[in-house]
């Protein structure tokens, strides 16, 4: 995954948002965790950091919402 692969970046962010897992997101995008973290750390990739932070934050919020939902009776 590179800064010029918008399709892979979109898959990565979408999967990160859904799972909260960098490993799963990297796998879905056909890349590695190291490559994703390297891109996150690049000075010219602020857009990627912002999308990552928002996606990861959304996954945490979703997890908290699920924890606080009342259990359904079966």
> pTM of the entire structure?
0.76
Q: Is the pLDDT of residue 12 over 80?
A: yes
What ranges do the domains of the chain cover?
6-68
39 by Cβ neighbours in 10 Å (0-12 / 13-18 / 19+) ranks as buried
* 38-65 residue pLDDT tens: 999 999 989 999 999 998 877 776 666 6
**For the chain, what is the mean pLDDT?**
86
Residues 38, 42, 47, 50, CA torsion sign: positive
């Amino acid at each position: 995954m590179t800064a010029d692969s918008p399709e892979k970046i979109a898959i990565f962010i979408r999967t990160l948002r859904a799972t909260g897992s960098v490993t799963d997101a990297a796998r879905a995008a056909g890349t590695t965790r190291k490559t994703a973290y390297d891109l996150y750390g690049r000075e010219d990739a602020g857009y990627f950091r912002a999308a990552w932070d928002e996606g990861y934050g959304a996954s945490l919020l979703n997890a908290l919402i699920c924890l606080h939902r009342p259990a359904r009776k079966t």
